[in-house]
Amino acid sequence: MEVLMALTCRISTVSRIVTSTLTQRLLRMAGGDNARARIIRGAFGSAGIRLLNRLLIFVLGVVLARGLGAQGYGIYAYAFAIMTLLMVLAEAGMPRLLLREASAAMALTDGAVLQGVLRRTRQIVAATATGVSVVGLLGLLALGPANDPAVLYTTGLMLLLLPAAALTKLIAYGMVGLNHVVIGKASELLVRPIIVLVLVSTGFLIWPHLREPQYAMAAQLFAGVFGLLVGASILNSLVPISAKTRSPEYRDRAWLKSAGPFMLIGGAGVVNGHADMIMLGWFGEPEEVGVYRVAVQGAALVAFGLHAVNPIIAPEFSRLYAQSNIKQLQRVVTASARAILVAALPVVLLFTLYGTAIVSWVFGSEYTDADMPLVILSVAQLINAGYGSVGLLMTMTGHENDAARTMWTTASINIVLNAILIPWLGMNGAALASAISLIVWNAVLFRKVRTNLNISSTAFGRVHD
């Protein structure tokens, strides 16, 4: 234990040394009032909100896992994984389209187009999300008698939540497009988790009979509707007066043409992130899904540094590449990759050495079987951290098509591996499938970055003199 503590302290010291130069540089650039400074300040705010969101999700997961038990938590987690998949259809690629078009309209002070894209995207998402929800509810009613009541009610409430969740995300992206990054991210990532955490914590403590997955999903529904109303009100107040007074201009053909690729990219990300959970629920039992969900949440802590750093360094990647300053770009890439890696390593060491004890202490003794999937997923996330922000490099330097193709290729690999390994190895098979897919994705994009940008994305990359 003493050796581990000493190693952790050593890693923390190295992390501070590695990141100091990059952090000081970014802070200096964030101090001005130009566009770049505003972007960097927004990125810092976005990173902080993302970190707080992940902390809230983790704490909420602990409360739900302990309150619902493995079976109830598995039913809840599986319904939520299905909703994440359905969100791709419900959104129809509109949030990213709105972000791009609103940003462009603001830059050109084109109030008519801004008004048009705000209205049209809301109309489309309201229609598609409601359609997906209705079809899902009809299918659920047809299969209702064959389902456990807890599964039936939890899934039904999830389908009712779907339109509110899709519209909330659209509104948040609209705020970001209007140059209100922090407010937009907060409305999307903080409002609902905070409300749900308060509701389920209070309900589980005062009324033990509410420790059912359908109550947890009902709390999500209430928080989702409340967050939608608050977000819509905020967005309306942020729209410039010059846009509100203009008649909307619609560019439906161009917008719908662009929405398709956005939908495909988002769909690939969802498949890669949730194929294991969905297919484990298909082949296994709810208890197994609940235990595996604990492993997924634990492994997400390994990637904490990656998700914190990416929003901050993204503007730098774009700026340095646009200036053809490859040497400085390599320095930033290497420094950030090393920071991400040294932040991930102590967490992986803890999970590898004391995973069973940690899971039992945090989530409860009935989740101790999550220890092996936790180790597998954590090691994969450590390798992911070692490769650095390889996907971000591709998208911020104009190579998003290569990134999208790679993402769909690895999503296909992910599905095939889950189909083969889950019936054979259960939770461990799901973890192996996800781990292999993640490593393949990083390896392929690493080679593309070397070929297209002449940059090594890893923490061990050679920094140009």
Euclidean distance between CA atoms 249 and 114, whole angstroms:
8
- Tell me which of 254-263, 278-287, 445-454 is least confident: 254-263
Pick from 194, 215, 250: which residue ends a domain? 250
Residues 244 and 282 both lie in one domain = no
Question: Is residue 9's pLDDT more than 80?
Answer: no
Residue 207 lies in a domain: yes
Euclidean distance between CA atoms 148 and 135, whole angstroms:
20
Provide the 8-state DSSP code for 198.
H
455 close to 333: Cβ distance less than 8 angstroms: yes
Residues 3 and 74 both lie in one domain = no
Which residues 6+ apart lie within 8 Å of 10 measured at CB? none
Nearest in space to 244 (alpha carbons), one of 362, 417, 114, 350: 114
| Most confident by average pLDDT, 11-25, 292-306, 366-380 | 366-380
Residues 238 and 358 both lie in one domain = no
Backbone angles phi, psi at 396, to 5 degrees: -85, -5
Residues 96 and 22 both lie in one domain = no
360 close to 367: Cβ distance less than 8 angstroms: yes
Residue 40 lies in a domain: no
Residue type present at position 415: I
Place 18 in a pLDDT band, splitting at 50, 70 and 90: very low
Residue 58 lies in a domain: no
- Tell me which of 73-82, 209-218, 395-404 is least confident: 395-404
Q: 314 to each of 61, 93, 194, 200, 310, how far by Cα in Å?
A: 29, 22, 27, 36, 6
Residues 172 and 296 both lie in one domain = no
Residue 309 lies in a domain: yes
More confident of the two residues 5 and 222: 222
Q: What pLDDT is recorded for position 33?
A: 53
Residues 238 and 273 both lie in one domain = no
Which residues 6+ apart lie within 8 Å of 146 measured at CB? none
Q: Which domain holds residue 109?
A: 67-250
The helix (H) or strand (E) run that includes residue 438 is: helix 427-453
Residues 188 and 280 both lie in one domain = no
Pick from 185, 215, 250: which residue ends a domain? 250
Euclidean distance between CA atoms 80 and 61, whole angstroms:
12
Euclidean distance between CA atoms 156 and 218, whole angstroms:
10
Residue 257 lies in a domain: no
Residues 81 and 182 both lie in one domain = yes
46 close to 311: Cβ distance less than 8 angstroms: yes
Question: Is residue 206's pLDDT more than 60?
Answer: yes
Place 15 in a pLDDT band, splitting at 50, 70 and 90: very low
Backbone angles phi, psi at 452, to 5 degrees: -85, -35
Pick from 250, 274, 294: which residue ends a domain? 250
This prediction has a pTM of 0.81
More confident of the two residues 115 and 14: 115
Residues 278 and 399 both lie in one domain = yes
Euclidean distance between CA atoms 78 and 371, whole angstroms:
20
Average pLDDT in the 278-285 region? 89
Other residues' Cβ atoms within 10 Å of the Cβ of residue 88? 20
Tokens of 118: 């705000």
Residue 255 lies in a domain: no
The dihedral built from the CA positions of residue 160, 166, 169 and 175, taken in this order, carries a sign that is: negative
Residue-wise DSSP of 165-193: HHHHHHHHHHHHHTT-HHHHHHHHHTHHH
Number of domains in the chain: 2
Residue 136 lies in a domain: yes
Q: What pLDDT is recorded for position 157?
A: 96
Question: Is residue 12's pLDDT more than 50?
Answer: no
176 close to 184: Cβ distance less than 8 angstroms: yes
Place 210 in a pLDDT band, splitting at 50, 70 and 90: confident
Residue 50 lies in a domain: no
Residue 233, classed as helix, strand or coil, is helix
* Packing angle, helices 286-300 and 252-283, rounded to 10: 120
| pLDDT > 90 in the chain, percent | 46
Q: What pLDDT is recorded for position 109?
A: 82
CA–CA–CA angle 177, 452, 27 (5° rounding): 45
Q: What pLDDT is recorded for position 25?
A: 53
- Tell me which of 92-101, 117-126, 392-401 is least confident: 392-401
Average pLDDT in the 54-68 region? 92
Per-residue pLDDT reduced to its tens digit, 72-103: 999 999 999 999 999 999 998 898 888 888 88
Average pLDDT in the 314-340 region? 83
**Considering all CA atoms of the chain, what is the largest pairwise distance in Å, rounded to the nearest integer?**
69
